[in-house]
A and B are shown apart, each in its own frame.
Chain A
Amino acid sequence: MSYFLQLVLSGIVVGSIYALSGLGFVLIYKSSRVLNIAHGQIIAAGAFITYTLTVWGGLPLYLSFFLSMGVTFFLAMSVERIFLRRLIGEPIISVIMVTIGLMSILDGIIYLTPFGGSNFSFPEFFPKTPINLGPVSISWTQLVGVIITFILIGLFSWFFKKSTIGISMRAVSDDQLASMSVGISVPRVFGLAWALAGMSAAAAGGIIGNITGLNFETLHAFGIIVFPVVILGGLDSIVGAVVAGIIMGVIQQFASGYLDGKWGLNGTADVLPYIILLIILLFKPHGLFGTHEIERV
């Protein structure tokens, strides 16, 4: 039983981090129907900014963590302002292609820094001894990661449901023309969506970097790894990202814990989530919580 519980706990931890990493996709898609392919690079940039402020800037890790969220807030907002603002009203595929180009540009910039070709690690900030919850254990880094994830996701959910700007963002997502007709500034909403996505990416980068160490390839890969999570949850649903993240995390742990190494199976943790994703999408093509749009022809 303790084995089962440990797998569930590990699955929740991993799933929460997936959810936080996927949140940036959701925030941008929710307001602009655009998929930001460069999201993984922003996750990595957030982690590197946190490291720079902590190790080279001498700031405490927690302060660097929040400051890096601020930096990526403005960074992502600038990216939207410079590269994407002109594409409002253009076909979505054009915008997605721009984000692919953006990915290459960010890659190039990061490769020019020491982070592009070297490994780094955050100073050990949390106690090394794990927290034992009965028969299961969790590290401090993981626990803090999960707490930050749930706080941020809670804040974003509240923001979209209750705040005026959040409601404006949802309105823009539903109908840009109608939103403009009631005085909502669509460009401002897009800029804010990118900025919030940048902020969540920095948080994800900081947490992942604390777990895996700072390796550019590992960090930016999370932009792709979490893609099935946001598809499964429904591209425009924050709750969906959380539920799908946890489902994926738990499935991965169960697959690794119960299937791998038996009957000649190996690597099921990497494959099974995709199989389940395909099955669920067969029945719910918009994901678990995605908006099912009805188009009248």
Chain B
Amino acid sequence: MRSRQFWMVPITVALLTVMFAVAPSQAEVYKMALSLAITGPTSDAGNPYAKGVEDYIRYVNDTKLLGEDTVQCPIRDDQYQTDITKRNFEEFLDDGIVFYLNYSTGSTQALKRDFDEEKIPVIPASMDAGNLVDSTYIFLPIASYSSQCIALAEYITKNHKNGTPQVAMFIHPSAFGRGPVDDVRKAVKAGLKMDIVEVVEHGKDLDNTAMLQRLMSKKVRYVICQTVQSPVATLIKDAQRLGLTAKTFGEDGKLTFVGAHYTGGNDLIELAGSAAEGYFWTTSYALTSEPGKGTDFQMMLAKKYNRDEKTANSHNYTNGMMVAQTAVETMRRVKQKGGKVTREALFKELNAMNGDNAYSPGNTVAPVTYSPSDRAGVDSVQIYSVQKGVFRAVGEPFAPEYVEKIKK
């Protein structure tokens, strides 16, 4: 009896060893999450953005991009309200997320300290440069609003003829709108040759006649818009009615309208109709109206998950897709190096995403690069303008020079 017991122990150990060796390793689930405005203010941007994130994560799991490992990414509506965002974030933390996608400028800045305390890498939809001040774990997806506005200002100065261009800024009455104003002013101080004649914070205006004529009386020739599409649509429709819209860039005696990421896209054309013609816009994303490898993938993804044409062609769908791509790529790299996918490992990997390790998601005009001293993803921007009802690329992508100059 004793000898039987004696043999049972090594046999059991041997059997267990064989079982563990033969059985496949346990698949991991990487948890990330997104809180954004699917309803409420800016939900017109939030909706396609959420779909972009959702579709890419489904694609990763369906095509086993991370092998047997999967990514879980619950998406919750915060109605553009910071208190709801905070509640969502806290619940996501309880679920054990290792990566977080946030949305608005207000909530990103309000939760900065929480992100630092939790040491969790965050990519918000907001591209406000202020997100990076006094924070370590926030990474902007593309060039900041400030960089975009400076890029537009540089484009104006390079293409303006006859003297110093007189410029007005038309901004959203919030932190999101005001953010880039100081940086553009700094660029002017640093040597960018233009005059900022006026900064206009818009309301819910039905008629911009007074404002447009006031700008004309001050010899303003360019209006840099940093807001959302709807007020820009009303503005450019009024300018068209008053016969003030420039037919060519910088036409003398007329107004040329230019704008940052959230002012443009197909929604602007939808809202403004023919008044959008000749509107100049900048973003770091590739557009489906200028097809390429990245946009082909985007169209395939949208088709695979039965998205309508409007969503498939939305630059906010691209935006959502791209942040999900960046998060998943970071996880893949950590995994490839044999590390455990933790908040700390992802943070380190994001900071190493530069030089030869820069990441090209395909739907941006330049690679995504992060480092401890540069947490804005894509540093270059592309200027687009509306030609015959679609946005067309104007020139080549470029990195605005004054972004670095004003840092010094």
Chain A interface (Cβ within 8 Å of chain B)?
A: 3, 6-7, 10, 13-14, 17, 107-108, 111, 116-121, 124, 128, 130, 137, 139, 142, 208, 211-218, 221-222, 225, 252-254, 256-257, 260-261, 266-267, 269-270
Interfacial chain A residues near B38, Cβ < 8 Å:
111, 117
Known: A124-B273, A212-B233. A269 touches B203 (CB 8 A): yes
Kindly state whether residue B340 has any CB partner on chain A within 8 Å. no
Instruction: Determine if A267 and B242 form an interchain contact, defined as CB atoms under 8 angstroms apart.
Output: no
Known: A116-B43, A124-B274, A267-B201. A10 touches B234 (CB 8 A): no
Within the complex, the shortest CB–CB distance from A130 to chain B, in Å, comes to: 5
Report how far A267 CA is from B48 CA in the complex, Å: 32
Q: SS class of chain B's interface: helix, strand, loop or mixed?
A: helix
Instruction: Determine if B39 and A6 form an interchain contact, defined as CB atoms under 8 angstroms apart.
Output: no
Most buried by A among B207, B237, B272, B274: B207
Cβ contact of B47, chosen from A117, A142, A215, A222, cutoff 8 A: A117
Within the complex, the shortest CB–CB distance from B221 to chain A, in Å, comes to: 16
Q: B258-283 interface mask toward A, CB cutoff 8 Å, 1 = contact, 0 = none?
A: 00000000010011111000000000
Instruction: Determine if A257 and B203 form an interchain contact, defined as CB atoms under 8 angstroms apart.
Output: no
Interfacial chain B residues near A17, Cβ < 8 Å:
206
Interfacial chain A residues near B272, Cβ < 8 Å:
121, 213
Instruction: Determine if A118 and B46 form an interchain contact, defined as CB atoms under 8 angstroms apart.
Output: no
Report how far A116 CA is from B41 CA in the complex, Å: 10
Interfacial chain A residues near B173, Cβ < 8 Å:
267
Known: A130-B242, A267-B201. A119 touches B271 (CB 8 A): yes
Report how far A142 CA is from B47 CA in the complex, Å: 31
Report how far A261 CA is from B199 CA in the complex, Å: 8
The count of A-to-B residue pairs whose CB atoms sit within 8 angstroms is 124
Kindly state whether residue B218 has any CB partner on chain A within 8 Å. yes
Kindly state whether residue B357 has any CB partner on chain A within 8 Å. no
Cβ contact of A208, chosen from B43, B200, B206, B209, cutoff 8 A: B206
Report how far A3 CA is from B213 CA in the complex, Å: 8
Kindly state whether residue B210 has any CB partner on chain A within 8 Å. yes
Q: SS class of chain A's interface: helix, strand, loop or mixed?
A: helix
Most buried by A among B210, B234, B240: B210
Instruction: Determine if A257 and B241 form an interchain contact, defined as CB atoms under 8 angstroms apart.
Output: no
Within the complex, the shortest CB–CB distance from B27 to chain A, in Å, comes to: 34
Report how far A213 CA is from B201 CA in the complex, Å: 20
Kindly state whether residue B44 has any CB partner on chain A within 8 Å. yes
Instruction: Determine if B43 and A111 form an interchain contact, defined as CB atoms under 8 angstroms apart.
Output: yes
Instruction: Determine if B233 and A266 form an interchain contact, defined as CB atoms under 8 angstroms apart.
Output: no
Within the complex, the shortest CB–CB distance from A43 to chain B, in Å, comes to: 12
Report how far A215 CA is from B43 CA in the complex, Å: 10
Closest to A208 in B: B206
Instruction: Determine if B241 and A111 form an interchain contact, defined as CB atoms under 8 angstroms apart.
Output: no
Indicate the size class of the contact surface on chain B.
35 or more
Instruction: Determine if B211 and A10 form an interchain contact, defined as CB atoms under 8 angstroms apart.
Output: no
Closest to A117 in B: B47
With A225-B204, A257-B214 already in contact, 19 other A-B pairs whose C-beta atoms are closer than 8 Å: A3-B217, A6-B209, A7-B209, A116-B47, A117-B48, A119-B229, A119-B270, A120-B271, A121-B233, A124-B273, A137-B242, A213-B230, A218-B230, A253-B207, A256-B211, A257-B213, A261-B218, A266-B199, A269-B205
Within the complex, the shortest CB–CB distance from A218 to chain B, in Å, comes to: 5
Within the complex, the shortest CB–CB distance from B236 to chain A, in Å, comes to: 11
Q: B216-237 interface mask toward A, CB cutoff 8 Å, 1 = contact, 0 = none?
A: 0110000000000110011001
Instruction: Determine if B213 and A6 form an interchain contact, defined as CB atoms under 8 angstroms apart.
Output: yes
Instruction: Determine if A215 and B214 form an interchain contact, defined as CB atoms under 8 angstroms apart.
Output: no
Known: A139-B241, A260-B200. A213 touches B233 (CB 8 A): yes
Interfacial chain A residues near B211, Cβ < 8 Å:
256-257, 260
Within the complex, the shortest CB–CB distance from A61 to chain B, in Å, comes to: 14
4 nearest A-B pairs in the assembled complex, by CB-CB distance: A213-B271, A117-B47, A257-B210, A256-B210
Report how far A216 CA is from B206 CA in the complex, Å: 15
Most buried by A among B41, B205, B209, B229: B209
Known: A212-B234, A267-B173. A14 touches B207 (CB 8 A): yes
Instruction: Determine if B207 and A117 form an interchain contact, defined as CB atoms under 8 angstroms apart.
Output: no
Interfacial chain B residues near A270, Cβ < 8 Å:
203
Instruction: Determine if B270 and A217 form an interchain contact, defined as CB atoms under 8 angstroms apart.
Output: no
Closest to B311 in A: A118
